[in-house]
Structure formats: C-alpha cells, structure tokens
C-alpha cells in the first residue's frame, strides 16, 4: 500500500543541496545504492512537506523548518512551489502574540484539492468529498436493501450517489473505495466479499468506467479504517492497533509496529473467521462453524435478542439495552462473545488499542460491561496494556481511509500528479 502510517514518525530525513545517498544499516545486503539526482530529491521533499501538511493541517513555515531539518530557504522554495501549483495557500498568521516575527502559515487547499471517497457496505453506501488535509467537505449516504448487492445494482447506486458530488466542479485527484472484502492482486480485484456475494470483482475498472475514467483505488474497509484512525483518529499515537469493522460480518484492520498487517498476500486480519465456537456454534458463510462473526455479527445479535431479521439497528440496540429479561440475556450473550474474541486478539497481538468500528461501534457502548469482563480474563501483561476505544472518526473511519488511497499518488509526487 502506498500510504504510509503515523508511527514512522521516528524516521529521519536529511535534505541538502548536495549529492544524496540512501543508506540503510540492514545487516542483509543486496545490490548497490541507487544514485539519486537533485531533481528527485526536490520532488521527494515536496511530497514529504505536502504529506506533513495533509496530516497536520495548517502549519507555520518555521515549524516545517524545525520538523524537517531543512534550511529555511529550502522550505520557502518548496512551499512556494506547492502554492504555485495550487496545492497549498500561504498567509500571514493573525493574532500570534509573544516574541519573534510571526511565521508564514502554510495550509492545504482543502476546498480545491479533493478526493472522492466511497464506502460500500452490505447495507449502506456512503460517498464524500474529502479535501486535502482530511476535511470532509460534503457527505451523502443511502441504505441498501440486504441481499440486493449484485455488482450492476451497486454500481448503479454508486454512480447516482457520486454524480452530484462530481458535477459542476474540478475533478477530484482520484477516487478511493472501501469494500467489506478481501482486495488483492492486479487492479485491486475484490477477491472475496462473502456478505456481498462477490468473487473476483474488478471493481476498480468497473467504477472507473462508470465515472468517466477517473482513477479508482480499492481497499479493504478494515485496512482503510485502521489507517484513518492511526493517522487522524483515536489511535494516532499507537504503533499496535486493531480496528474492528463490519456491518453484517466482522472484519478488521490491524497495524503492527506501525505497519499494516497484510500477510503473505494481503489477506490477513480476517478476525470474523477466527472460530471461537467450532463445537457448538452455527455454520458461517465461509463454511466453518462457530466463527466469531456468527456469534457477534448482525444476525447473531438479532437472533439473540429475538428480533425479526432486517430490523433497523436502532431497534436492536434499544432491545439490547432494555430491562426485559430475555433482552438482558441476549446482551450478556452477545457481549460475552464479543469479549471472548477481543481477549483472544489481546493475547495474540498485545495491541495498545482495540477500536470498535462498524457494527461494534454501536454494540460496544451498550455491551461494554460484558465485553470488559471477558477482556479481563486475557493474560495480565497484555491486558494491562490495552485500551478499548470507539473510533475517533465516528462512522467515517473507512471513508476517510478511502480518501487516503486516492491522495496517495499526489502525496508521493505532488508535481507528477499536477502537471
């Protein structure tokens, strides 16, 4: 994945006008150092500065100088260039008291430079215009009938949702899409999205055709959710993060030591298919029995609460929070299973934060005591280090993460994408 994450903050950069060499202290050696031209260094540094502004928002030039270790004149030349191509705006800050000359403020032009972000769920589709800097400028969503997720129908819905956002303004830098399934291989193929009924769907290509040829990148909703929470949300300072997601099923995005957990082929993090009840559980859509998502997914919640399938989430939550004896038992049951899985993840990953996104964002506040009681049974050392949190970005973690996918090429080479 092209997008880099927050905990790489400790990495260092040195940029001078002279010849540059990239050195690594790795004990394993292969090949020689590539030589780097001055032009490449300049473009690289433009990207570094733009990414800094994208993540931190408006920043004084003096601070950019301090943080990057570049010369003042170099920073000035670079930000001027970013301003000239319309990516940032430079202005004098107002009302900064204290000693010294106030520094010019540099801010991303969020209104002009934007991405179209799309979050495809099993029961909803959301789309938003998200500006450089991660600002949600405009957001739209619609519910999607469960089971009505054939590719042409979803594409049609998406087109109708996106067109008003695209009409009458400059094109976005790209389109980023979050999906509840495994994404991999060439062309961001959606390999398997069981709750959508999708196998090997070339969504990127199809959506690009449907939306006038704009570039489309597709990612897993969990991977994108954890990226957004790690970049701008409740896990901004954490190197080891598990973000739970899913609407009907249960997925995740996981960051390990500041890097996304991908596994050998990009398919890691399928927490919903960790079997926690293989002896007594129900059959899962994946073919196994007692998967975590069969115990805490939407259907399990409805079943436990004795509520008709298809009831809106608000009704389900009201029931789980209710005083009725059967509903209390349902809450205890679902909360306990949610906690069993989280305790497993705590023992396996020793994370700093578990973020309850997707359906669990609604469930956790209602079931918290039961969840915490189970998590308390995890091994002492990792249990003492974990925080259980709601997403800092509310329901929009995956949507904001999808925008990051679309911004990645621009941040990698600000001039290449603009000229």
What is the CB neighbour count within 10 angstroms for residue 388? 16
What is the CB neighbour count within 10 angstroms for residue 169? 11
Q: Return d(Cα 83, Cα 187) in angstroms, integer.
A: 33
Q: Does 280 bind a second copy (CB under 8 A)?
A: yes
Total of residues contacting a second copy (CB under 8 A)? 84
Closer residue to a second copy, CB minimum distance, 2 or 153: 2
CB of 265 to a second copy, least distance (A): 5
Q: Does 411 bind a second copy (CB under 8 A)?
A: yes
Residue 212 Rama label (left phi>0; alpha psi -120 to 50; beta): left
Residue 216 has phi, psi (to 5 degrees) of -125, 130
Residue of 191, 230, 232, 327 that binds a second copy (CB under 8 A): 191
Tell me which stretch binds a second copy (CB under 8 A): 45-53, 108-116, 145-153, 363-371: 45-53
Residue 142, Cβ density class (10 Å: 0-12 exposed, 13-18 middle, ≥19 buried): exposed
Q: Does 197 bind a second copy (CB under 8 A)?
A: no
Closer residue to a second copy, CB minimum distance, 128 or 374: 374
Q: Does 14 bind a second copy (CB under 8 A)?
A: yes
Q: Does 350 bind a second copy (CB under 8 A)?
A: yes
Q: Does 23 bind a second copy (CB under 8 A)?
A: yes
Residue of 1, 89, 155, 275 that binds a second copy (CB under 8 A): 275
Residue 406 Rama label (left phi>0; alpha psi -120 to 50; beta): alpha
Q: Does 352 bind a second copy (CB under 8 A)?
A: yes
Q: Return d(Cα 51, Cα 46) in angstroms, integer.
A: 9
The residues, ordered by sequence, that sit 6+ positions from 131 with a Cβ below 8 Å of its Cβ are: 108, 109, 110, 111, 112, 113, 114, 137
Closer residue to a second copy, CB minimum distance, 343 or 366: 343
Residue of 114, 198, 243, 349 that binds a second copy (CB under 8 A): 349
CB 211 within 8 A of CB 88: no
Q: Does 13 bind a second copy (CB under 8 A)?
A: yes
Q: Does 39 bind a second copy (CB under 8 A)?
A: no
């Amino acid at each position: 994945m092209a997008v880099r994450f927050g905990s790489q903050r400790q990495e260092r950069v040195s940029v001078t006008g002279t010849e540059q060499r990239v050195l690594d202290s790795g004990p394993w050696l292969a090949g020689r150092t590539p030589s780097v031209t001055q032009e490449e260094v300049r473009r690289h540094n433009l990207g570094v500065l733009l990414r800094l502004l994208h993540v931190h928002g408006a920043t004084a030039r003096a601070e950019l100088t301090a943080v990057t270790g570049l010369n003042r004149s170099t920073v000035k030349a670079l930000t001027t260039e970013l301003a000239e191509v319309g990516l940032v705006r430079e202005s004098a800050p107002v009302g900064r008291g204290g000693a010294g000359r106030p520094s010019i403020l540099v801010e991303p032009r969020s209104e002009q430079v934007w991405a179209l972000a799309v979050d495809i769920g099993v029961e909803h589709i959301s789309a938003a215009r998200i500006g450089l800097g991660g600002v949600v400028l405009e957001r739209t969503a619609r519910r999607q009938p469960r089971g009505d997720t054939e590719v042409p129908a979803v594409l049609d819905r998406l087109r109708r949702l996106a067109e008003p956002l695209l009409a009458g303004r400059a094109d976005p830098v790209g389109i980023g899409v979050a999906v509840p399934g495994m994404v991999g291989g060439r062309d961001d193929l959606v390999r398997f999205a069981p709750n959508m009924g999708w196998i090997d769907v070339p969504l990127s290509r199809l959506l690009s055709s449907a939306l006038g040829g704009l570039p489309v990148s597709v990612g897993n909703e969990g991977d994108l959710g954890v990226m957004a929470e790690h970049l701008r949300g409740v896990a901004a300072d954490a190197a080891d993060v598990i973000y739970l997601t899913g609407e009907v099923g249960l997925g995740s995005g996981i960051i390990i030591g500041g890097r996304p957990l991908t596994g050998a082929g990009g398919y890691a993090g399928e927490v919903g298919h960790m079997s926690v009840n293989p002896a007594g559980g129900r059959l899962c859509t994946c073919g196994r029995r007692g998967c975590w998502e069969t115990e805490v997914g939407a259907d399990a919640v409805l079943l436990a609460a004795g509520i008709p399938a298809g009831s809106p989430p608000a009704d389900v939550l009201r029931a789980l929070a209710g005083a009725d004896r059967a509903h209390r038992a349902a809450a205890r049951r679902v909360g306990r299973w949610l906690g069993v899985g989280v305790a497993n993840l705590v023992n396996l990953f020793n994370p700093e934060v578990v973020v309850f996104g997707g359906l669990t964002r609604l469930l956790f506040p209602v079931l918290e005591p039961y969840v915490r009681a189970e998590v308390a049974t995890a091994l002492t050392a990792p249990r003492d280090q974990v925080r259980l949190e709601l997403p800092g970005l509310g329901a929009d973690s995956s949507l904001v993460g999808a925008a990051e996918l679309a911004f990645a090429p621009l941040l990698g080479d600000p001039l290449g994408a603009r000229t």
